[in-house]
Amino acid sequence: MPGVLIVYMSRRGHTARVTRTLMSAIEAQGTECDMMDVVEAKHEGIDWDKYHTVVIGAPVLYGNFDDSVWAFIDQHRPQLEARHNAFFCLSVVARKPEKATVEGNRYMQKFIAKSPWRPQLLKVFAGKVDYPNWGFWDSLSIKFIMKMTKGPTAPDTVIDYTDWNEVQAFALAIDEMAKA
């Protein structure tokens, strides 16, 4: 039976980790699932016949999603729309419960307003703060966002805000959609 493909973009590895967790949880339901970096997908191509469900995942970076994500959506909109499909995003503002919903997360709302593709399933996750592993400028910018939103700014801060139970629940929702 054709399976699920998750195409993801990850600048610092956390979205990749969320994607891998989704993949394992979907496979645990007996559904085949692959994951592919969006750059790999661009250069290696996708065997679309293998998949009847496609999920895209990306972190919010400086208020937007990476160009590679938008380019993938533009280029593959017909393939996305011909399959079950979903989109998830990570952001640190989503550490606040009211911003961890599709309606309450301004980046997801921006995505919905801008995207010509209308995903069937949408999900917002809180991301990770990892100042020691981010470069100087990235850390400085996020500290600025954190200062404005009353978050942590100490240079040694590493906090994983992701609710991993929510990741498991989203995997089940994807699997249910894939089996429909």
Ligand X SMILES: Cc1cc2nc3c(=O)[nH]c(=O)nc-3n(C[C@H](O)[C@H](O)[C@H](O)COP(=O)(O)O)c2cc1C
- Residue number with the shortest CB distance to ligand X? 127
- Dihedral sign for Cα atoms in the order 36, 103, 98, 63: positive
Q: Which of 134, 153, 163, 172 binds ligand X (CB under 6 A)?
A: 134
Residue 4 contacts ligand X per CB under 6 A: no
Angle between helices 14-27 and 164-179 (to 10 degrees): 50
Residue 142 contacts ligand X per CB under 6 A: yes
Please list, in sequence order, all residues whose beta carbon lies within 8 angstroms of the beta carbon of residue 40, skipping any fewer than 6 positions away.
none
Beta bridge partners of 132: none
First-last CA distance in the chain:
12
Q: Which of 54, 56, 59, 146 binds ligand X (CB under 6 A)?
A: 59
Q: What whole-number distance in Å separates Cα of residue 90 and Cα of residue 92? A: 7
CB of 176 to ligand X, least distance (A): 25
Sequence letter at residue 13? G
Stretch that binds ligand X, among 36-44, 55-63, 115-123, 163-171 (CB under 6 A): 55-63
Residue closer to ligand X (CB basis): 9 or 177: 9
Q: Which of 28, 63, 169, 176 binds ligand X (CB under 6 A)?
A: 63
Count interface residues toward ligand X (CB under 6 A).
21
CB of 127 to ligand X, least distance (A): 2
Residue 114 contacts ligand X per CB under 6 A: no
Q: What whole-number distance in Å separates Cα of residue 35 and Cα of residue 17? A: 11
Stretch that binds ligand X, among 9-17, 23-31, 41-49, 70-78 (CB under 6 A): 9-17
Tokens of 132: 């020691």
CB of 63 to ligand X, least distance (A): 4
Q: Contact, 168 vs 25, CB < 8 A?
A: yes
User: Which spans of this chain sit near ligand X (rule: CB under 6 A)?
Assistant: 10-15, 59-63, 90-93, 127-128, 134, 138, 142, 145
